[in-house]
Structure 1
Amino acid sequence: MLSISTASGGATELLLSEGIAIFITPMMAGMAGAILMGVLALMLQRPSGMLKLAHLSSATFAILLAFTGNITILHLLTLTLLLYLFHGLQEHKSGLLLISAAAIITLVMWTVSEYLWAFPAQRGAIVIVFMYILFLAYQAYSSANEFELKERDDDHTEHESLGLPGRQSFKRAFNEFRQTEGSPCMLVLVRLMGFEQVNFHLGREFGDLLLAQSANRIAQRLQSGDVMTITHGNETAKMAHLGGLNFAFVCSLKHGRHFHEQLIEEISNSTLKPFNVGSCTLEIMMRASYVNCDEEMGQLENLISCVFLALDTQSEAHQYGQQQVVPYQQRMQIHRLEQQVRLSELAKINFRSEFELYFHPVVRHEDNSIEFVELLLRWQHPKQGILSANEFIDDIRLVGLAIPVAEYVLERACEIALALKMEGISVPISINVFGAELLSESFIEFIDYTMLNHQLSSGAIIIECPASMLAELDEQEIAMISRLKNLGVKMCVDSFGDAPLVLAKLPALRFEYVKLSRNMTQEPEHMGHTKSLVKGIVEMHQEKHCRVIGEGIESLGQLEFVKSIGTVAAQGFYFSRPQNSNILISWLKQRLPQ
């Protein structure tokens, strides 16, 4: 039986069955609501199993006590709070012990008062409300304290490893600096590069030692009074370690608006000086980015995100041959958003239907015949039109499609090479390999299988590797290139001249072709004294029986220049723009002598 009636004074009588009735007053309902809100807030803190049991039990008994006023429930509620005491002892949490002990003592006193002075037992439930409030305040305080301790530990760890302040010390110094310094200032991020090979060949301990020496070189260039001072412990420094190979400093521009660029140049010159280790000479590279401290409302965390974004945006477009110093620009945020959209599109794409191959010929100087034809990947984007591979190849690698797309391109190249063979046209086909992960055992085996399946002879397929990739090859990847050559695949270095370390790698590698980058094939009047250097590079490759090709030829002047330095062929818009591979056979038939 269940019936509800409203009594005078705003109380509601809830008759559960014969002889059992609960009188609900606004005060009781308010206490019950407060208890429910409190326990929900505590449960959102994701407590341990013991605390979860304690919260649920105390809330249940407290609500029953508020509605019934039963003295037995008051006793049970008091006993339930012992769970909090037990948990506090187990976890060594003095605050939890103090709050739960105070609540137990209060409830015991309330029980005694109920017997001696007839205090309403049900109002003892309000003790639980206050206890929950204290628990929430204690947990908020504990979380903030733990976070602060963690920040100090992180700062201390970075301080111990390199003797430099970390992010938190940097943040405190920045806030003080901005309050006292009224002039414009710049935040500069410096990233050291080249430590992967050092760690791989010489070990992590040696790499850490070299990193400390490199950081010391940078610090020596930042002794100006216009560079922000960072206090950490009892010491001071001029730059902070942001983790990994990243360092940051802030400088005022009150004595020169290009002061930050001057400092970056000095750091670069200092960093690029070789380290002599025994019989080895090691070179460390660096890149830098900067942002005006008035950007992003002057919030340091946002400014740090900006300089990281500037470097990462440039790195995604192939790290060699790009700007060594990158200023942050707001359009980089747009670029990042566009990249996120592309990544989501690529994750769902059927690339076999949306990707296409275009061809671009390499033309011999001697008789204008075709040395070989390069296949270029294009994406027929539904909104942006035709995109070149440079605009999305790094995104392909990020979504894990590098190998599948490379296999697709190789299959199409072999199909085209077989079609040319059937037509009696003897022109090799080249494809591009963008990442060292494509020089894996499985991909090499796929190349072997696909060429055999299409019955292609040696030299029918050429693989072009970007010079930047060759700068980072390890011994196993060099062995993979040798294995490719044994399979009858010819190799070509693409964009030679963009990566300064390639010359050191070439003695261990043998290539049939080298393409000089656009930087080396400009108009003669733009080359200056570098013309003789480029000619010397061409002669060096000729001595190794390597055919050198001029890349990016767009004018007759460029063509005459690359001819004069000894190249055998050229490629560029001067001859033709890339065209869809569907018309390759008909295009070649028009070019070839009848």
Structure 2
Amino acid sequence: MKKVIAAGGLTLSSFSLFAATEKSIFTFPSLVAGMLLVSWLLAILQAGNAVNRVLDILLGVATLAFLSTHNLVAIIICALILLAECYFSQQKKAQRMALWLNVVSLLLFLGLSVAFFTDYLSGAWPPVAVVFHYIFANLDTYFRREKRLRIALSSQLHTNEAHNDKQLLLERSLFLNGYDNWQVQSLNRVLVLIKLEGLGQINRMVGHDFGDLLIAKLGKKINDELNTGDVLSLSLFNEDVQLCYLGGVDFAFAVDTTNEAHIHQRLIHRIYDVVHKPTQVDNIDSELSLRAAIVEDKKQLTAQQLLAQAHLAIEFTSEIDWLITFQKEIAERADKRRQLLSDLSVLDFDKDFQLYFHPVIDIETNQILFIELLLRWHHPKFGTLEAKHFIDEISAAGLTLPIARWVSEKAAELALAIKLEEINVPISVNLFGKELLQDEFIDHLADVLVEHRLTEGDIIIEAPVNVFMGLPDFGESILRRLKENNIAVCLDDLGIEPLQLSRLPRLALNYVKVDGSIVKELTENVNTRSLLSGIIDMSNSLGIKVVCEGIESETQYTYISSMKCHAAQGYLFSRPLPNVGLLGWLKQWQKRLANGERPY
């Protein structure tokens, strides 16, 4: 390609000789023609994309044509090409400088052209603007490429620096082998797993290269804190290294507690202080947090087995606990989860699942406001399990939507059976997560309502706060769509997690359930009573009915009644019962009310 351009240049240079107005080749027009040719060829070779390259070629041809003919058409063509270059350069934010240079070149070209046609300047002057355009286009391209090279080089240096710092830490295989050999000499061993947290947000804000360098620097700092004779130390590049980099955000080290029983805890707290202090990378201070798991090697296990236990300890404990000691119960929970996941794969919903009912009572009339259905799993090994004990496994097995479909269909069957008995009591079902608030599930609910001849308010959808409060605007529109399909919506477990009360008016809710943990504190905590009173007043003003859960005593019932709470649910009225007895239970409740008796 370069040979073709060079050959074309030689051909076009002969045309430039026609621009000379005298026999001497050292005239101003021939000088301009030569400068135009050189800068033109350089611009073509350095053009960043095909569009710029084509425009530069056309501009050079048109300018040489004008030098030879002084034709008005050639002037117009040159101006249009410069205008096109302005248009294409403004399309790219990274080429703002190129845009301004193109605009200046166009204005200069038009000014010199006007001066030529008004006989103020010779015909050699308008091409000077094109030469100016090519020269500065070449410089702009050069500096932009240099900037990209500097950025790439800086990134590569950061990557190499992070890689070199990580190389100064123990690799996984070296650490595992070192521990397995070390355990023969030590009878009081503890393995510690360090997991750094908060790196994901840093990676999103400043990039993964920055994150890698931060991890490497922190790893080096942590290793410096472990420089004691009680920590497993292995030689690496003629240096003693104590910390193992497992990959990602995980580190590990091993301690002999023979001389000091709690040395590992002291070291962990020192590491905690290091991690929570800002670490500077590229003049930016960044701070992470950590979780640590302690595994005591009481059974002469391998390092691989101990690491597996440490990971279980972090996975199966609350994120609030930053320091965890592995216990037998954690392994049992992990085994139970594996068993549940295995059993879910061969589950027969109709055979293994059963729905229980739990009534919600209208405080003013003692009528049943609605019936909540609760999912139970009759497990052959673990007995009858509440949904909260296997909801994570349902999600992991990808069964949230199939089970929600099954529950909603059973709820519709019960709602229809109740209506046929001329009892006006809605049925509520619980969602497992925000993934169910999708068009597919909403369409299914709408079809179920039509199929079972149910009307507005016969079915209520309940979901916990963490589902509703995490919804974007799209999710709020989904809630409105539920209401449009005559499906009532209930916000469950209010009080378990932080709540943005300002979002309540934006959610199309019919009911709000206050969690039993708040109700339990009513008799002891004045602030809790004030909080509940505020929630009730706000909900009442929005037309949302408030239900207090966990009512187990007359005292609690009296408190919420005085606060104008609409309804209550709890063991004071009934414990959850199998749904097969629902119709009989409802009839018995209504009979007691009709006889003027207290139904509970």
Same-fold status (TM-score > 0.5): yes
Match of 1:432 in 2: 430
- 1:269 and 1:556 map into 2 onto residues whose CA distance is 53
2:312 alignment partner AA: L
476-485 vs 356-365, greater mean Cα deviation: 476-485
C-alpha root-mean-square deviation of aligned residues, in Å? 4.8
Structure 1 residue 205, shift from structure 2 partner: 5.4
Q: CA deviation at 1:204?
A: 7.4
* Matched residue SS, 2:520: coil
Distance 1:223 1:352, change over 3 A: same
Shift in Å at residue 163 of structure 1? 10
CA distance in 2, matches of 1:284, 1:296: 34
- Distance 1:394-1:457 versus aligned 2 partners, 3 A rule: same
Partner of 1:551: 549
TM-score by length of 1: 0.57
Give the 3 Å change call, closer, same or farther, for CA 444–187 of structure 1 in structure 2: same
- The 2-side partners of 1:441 and 1:162 are apart by 50
**How many percent of aligned residue pairs carry the same amino acid?**
30
Partner of 1:422: 420
In structure 2, give the amino acid aligned to 1:367: T
Read off the aligned partner of 2:364 and give its amino acid letter: E
Counterparts of 2:524 and 2:167, CA distance in 1: 44
The residue that corresponds to 2:377 in the other structure is 379
Q: How much does 1:409 deviate? A: 0.4
The answer to whether residue 322 in structure 2 is matched with residue 292 in structure 1 is no
Q: In structure 2, what is the equivalent of residue 493 of structure 1?
A: 491
Name 2:356's counterpart in structure 1.
358
The residue type paired with residue 366 of structure 1 is E
| Alignment partner of 1:464 is 2:462 | yes
Is there any run of 5+ residues in structure 1 with no aligned partner, and where? 1-153, 274-281
- Say yes or no: does 1:312 pair with 2:315: yes
Single out whichever of 229-238 and 464-473 deviates more from structure 2. 229-238
SS at match of 1:297: coil
Matches of 1:545 and 1:269, distance apart in 2: 52
**Which residue pairs with 2:331 in the alignment?**
333
Amino acid in structure 2 at the alignment position of 1:187: V
CA deviation after TM superposition for structure 1 residue 540, in Å: 4.7
Paired position in structure 1 for 2:197:
192
Q: Can you list the C-alpha shifts for 1:394-436, whole angstroms capped at 9, x where unaligned? A: 3333333222111110001111112222222222211111122
Alpha-carbon spacing, 1:481–1:211, altered in 2? closer, same or farther (3 Å): farther
Q: Distance in 2 between matches of 1:359 and 1:402?
A: 20
Could you state the TM-score of these two structures normalised by the residue count of structure 2? 0.57
C-alpha contact (below 8 Å) 1:376/1:389 kept by paired residues: yes
Aligned length: 423
From the superposition, tell whether residues 215 and 346 of structure 1 become closer, same or farther in structure 2 (CA, over 3 Å).
same
Contact 1:289 1:328 in 2 (8 A): no
Question: 1:467-508: CA deviations, max 9, x gaps?
Answer: 333455455444433322332222222222333366686565
- When residues 155 and 505 of structure 1 are mapped into structure 2, their CA distance, relative to the original with a 3 A threshold, is farther
- Residues 9-158 of structure 1: matches in 2 within 5 Å? none
| Structure 2: distance between partners of 1:442 and 1:403 | 9
1:456 and 1:264, CA in 2 relative to 1: closer, same or farther beyond 3 A? farther
State the SS of the aligned residue for 2:444.
helix
Larger Rg: 2
Distance 1:269 1:524 in 2: 42
Instruction: Give the aligned residue type for 2:307.
Output: I
Question: Deviation digits for residues 280-326 of structure 1, max 9, x if unmatched?
Answer: xx99987x452333245253322221122123334xxxx78x76654
* Bigger mean CA deviation after superposition, 556-565 or 227-236: 227-236
Superposition deviation, residue 449 in structure 1: 1.1
Structure 2 residue aligned with 1:122: none
Amino acid at match of 2:511: Y
1:566 is displaced (CA, Å) by 5.5
What secondary structure does 1:573 align onto? coil
**Distance in 2 between the 1:173 and 1:334 partners?**
29
Q: In the alignment, is the contact (CA less than 8 A) between 2:368 and 2:425 conserved in 1?
A: yes
CA contact (8 A) 2:359 2:372 kept: yes
Distance 1:164 1:417, change over 3 A: farther
Equivalent residues in 2 for 1:441-460 (5 A)?
441-460=439-458
Counterparts of 2:170 and 2:504, CA distance in 1: 41
Q: Within 5 Å, which residues of 2 pair with 1:442-591?
A: 442-470=440-468, 472-474=470-472, 476-500=474-498, 509-524=507-522, 527=525, 530-563=528-561, 567-591=565-589
Report the CA distance shift for 1:296/1:229 in structure 2 as closer, same or farther (over 3 A).
closer
Q: Which AA in structure 2 matches 1:300?
A: A
- Confirm or deny that 1:302 pairs with 2:305: yes
Kindly state the Cα deviation for residue 579 of structure 1 after the two structures are TM-superposed. Answer: 0.6
**8 Å contact 2:225–2:267 — kept in the other structure?**
no
Contact 2:268–2:292 (Cα < 8 Å) also in 1: no
> Alignment partner of 1:456: what SS?
coil
**Cα distance change of structure 1 residues 211 and 157 upon mapping to structure 2, 3 Å threshold:** closer
- 2:358 aligned partner, one-letter code: H
In structure 2, relative to structure 1, the CA distance for the partners of 1:388 and 1:252 (3 Å cut) is same
1:455 is displaced (CA, Å) by: 2.3
